[in-house]
Amino acid sequence: MTDARDRVIVAMGGGGFSMETDNTLLDDLILDLGRNANDRRQPRICFLPTASGDTPAYIAEFYSAFARRSEANHLALFNRTVDDIERLLLDQDVVYVGGGNTENMLAVWRVHGVDRALRAAWETGVVLAGVSAGSLCWFEAGTTDSFGAGLAPLSAGLGLLPGSNAPHYDGEATRRPHFQRLIAEGAIPDGYAADDGAALVFRGTELSEVVASRPGARAYRVERGPDGEAVETALPARYLG
């Protein structure tokens, strides 16, 4: 088990290879963190495309983005071929979780024991990262479109990180007001929101910094105020360009 400061999670509001095909800044950062974790020139990175139902096109995009600069592999669960999932994930430098249906992903993970394997990987220093569903999953709660066109509370995240999360904060018009309303009502705990192009970097369970792949992308701390209102505080962001 590693020191808490060596347990890294990168929660992207939006961006990475699936959303910014001509902008590799966030993915470059994730690879650098994985490279530093084990002092390996070619970091090992495993993609979890569960939230998309292991869509072949999404998996192909991942390999196109990472195969030339890392030891890239993926874990499929809808046509599972890996016997020991925990051993696979513990052997990585980075585990990268894709976007899609968060609730479906979490349910499938729990059937296959991926939730326990991810916790074990995090505790031993494997960098955990992801976008959208791959950002939400690390927290206790958040907002999700898993149940249809509208947004609903997500209340059964992995809980590696305390509090709640909202990705795509500037990318979808309903994300900001919905997240603020849930926090104001006390339906979900205080938390963090991130724009498309912004990422929250945690060391242990503490926010270390906010990074951005484009100027102006931001992240926010959103808390329930003393009068039951949502209080949003913009966080300093480091532009990676």
| Residue at 158: amino acid letter | L
Confidence of residue 150 (pLDDT cuts 50, 70, 90): confident
Q: Is 74 a catalytic residue?
A: no
Residue 226 to residue 231: CA distance in whole angstroms: 9
**Is the confidence at residue 141, as pLDDT, over 70?**
yes
Q: How confident is the model over 205-215, as pLDDT tens digits?
A: 999 999 999 99
Closest CA to 154 of 223, 204, 195, 101: 101
Q: How confident is the model over 164-221, as pLDDT tens digits?
A: 999 999 998 999 999 999 999 999 999 999 999 999 999 999 999 999 999 999 999 9
**Concatenated DSSP letters of 122-179:** HHTT-EEEEETHHHHTTEEEEEE-TTSSS-EEE-----SEEEEEESSTTTSTTHHHHH
The β-bridge relationship of strands 8-12 and 127-131 is parallel
Confidence of residue 1 (pLDDT cuts 50, 70, 90): low
Query: Mean pLDDT for the chain?
Result: 95
Query: If you average pLDDT over residues 116-139, what whole number do you get?
Result: 98
Sign of CA dihedral 73, 168, 105, 10: positive
DSSP 89: H
Q: Which one from 74, 168, 178, 213 is the annotated catalytic residue?
A: 168
Q: Which one from 18, 132, 135, 213 is the annotated catalytic residue?
A: 132
pLDDT score recorded for residue 40: 82
pLDDT score recorded for residue 152: 87
Residue 101 to residue 122: CA distance in whole angstroms: 22
With a pLDDT cut of 70, the percent of the chain lying above it is: 98
Q: Is 178 a catalytic residue?
A: no
Would you call 206 helix, strand, or coil by DSSP? Answer: strand
Enumerate the domain spans of the chain: 4-239
In CATH, the number for domain 4-239 is 3.40.50.880
Structure token pair of residue 191? 């938390």
Residue 159 to residue 138: CA distance in whole angstroms: 6
